[in-house]
Amino acid sequence: MNRSTIRTLVRRRLNETVADNWDDSVLNTFIDLAYALVLKQVRKVDPEAVLFWDYRNTVAATIWYEKPAGTRGPVEVGFKALGTDTDWTPLPRRPYFLARDYTDAADTVYCHRGTYIGIFPAPAASVVDGIQFIHAPTDTLPTDADIPKLEATLHYAIVLWATLIAKGESPEADTKDALELLRILMDIPADYGSPDHGQPVGLSLDVADARGRGATTLRPGIY
């Protein structure tokens, strides 16, 4: 369902089919907040359930680049060292206190620093779309035609959560809405527990790194 349909259902649950206490713009804000809250529950099960691709131009000798607005964290940071490169090379992440000492362009890394990432060593050339962010965003529904990027049954979870937010501004009881929401959220693992139902990832143990039972300990921490 799109934002318009979600808002209509929210109004029905609020018994306010015609705007009185809440105009459309206020409910739209509640819907975006509810969408973000439902998406947060999904990411507890599958951090990569919703991903965006965003880009930044690199500037020669410039280290710091702003992350995409609203990102919950990158899954991958890709880098083009030259404008002639046809693809982005995934960069390994290093903590800042180590990354700042990297000087070999053949061993480029990135680090986090607040709302920025640092590229070390600094790019040697200015490249359009030189950085590719694959990241988990805080998605929104800017227009009435927009549809949440979630499994269809979770669209109704947005309705319920937006209703709860609205009822938080009134003395009306919200127990029924809260219980319905909980029932829907509890089923998230059924839809997002495995990203590939045809080829699930099997459990693979590295016996060489098995610690504890059956291991011979020379002294604590050394096996």
At residue 72, the pLDDT reads 80
Measured in whole angstroms, how far is the alpha carbon of residue 173 from the centre of its chain? 32
What are the backbone dihedrals phi and psi of residue 134, each rounded to the nearest 5 degrees, phi first? Answer: -105, 115
Using CA atoms, how far apart are residues 110 and 188, in angstroms rounded to an integer? 33
Structure confidence by residue, pLDDT tens digits, 137-195:
889 999 999 999 999 989 999 999 999 999 987 677 778 999 999 999 999 998 887 66
Q: Using CB atoms within 10 A of its CB, is residue 205 exposed (0-12), middle (13-18) or buried (19+)?
A: exposed
Q: Which residue has the higher pLDDT, 131 or 198?
A: 131
Using CA atoms, how far apart are residues 74 and 68, in angstroms rounded to an integer? 9
As beta bridge partners, residue 118 has 64, 111
Structure confidence by residue, pLDDT tens digits, 206-222:
555 554 444 444 454 44
Using CA atoms, how far apart are residues 135 and 169, in angstroms rounded to an integer? 34
pLDDT of 5 strictly over 90: yes
C-alpha angle 72/74/76, rounded to 5°?
165
pLDDT bin (cut points 50, 70, 90) of residue 73 is: confident
At residue 197, the pLDDT reads 61
- Three-state SS at 163: helix
Task: Give the closest residue to 146 by CA, choosing from 6, 34, 2, 24.
Answer: 2
At residue 69, the pLDDT reads 87
Structure confidence by residue, pLDDT tens digits, 99-116:
999 999 999 999 999 999
- The predicted model scores a pTM of 0.78
Q: How many CA atoms lie within 13 A of 134 on its CB side?
A: 12
User: What is the torsion angle, in degrees rounded to the nearest 10, for the CA atoms of residue 193, residue 195, residue 201 and residue 205?
Assistant: -60
At residue 202, the pLDDT reads 60
Structure confidence by residue, pLDDT tens digits, 25-65:
999 999 999 999 999 999 999 989 999 999 999 999 999 99
CB-based contacts of 145-152 (< 8 A; 24+ apart in sequence): 145/2, 145/3, 145/4, 146/2, 146/3, 147/1, 147/2, 147/3, 148/6, 148/35, 148/38, 149/50, 150/35, 150/38, 150/39, 150/42, 150/49, 150/50, 151/191, 151/192, 152/1
At residue 175, the pLDDT reads 87
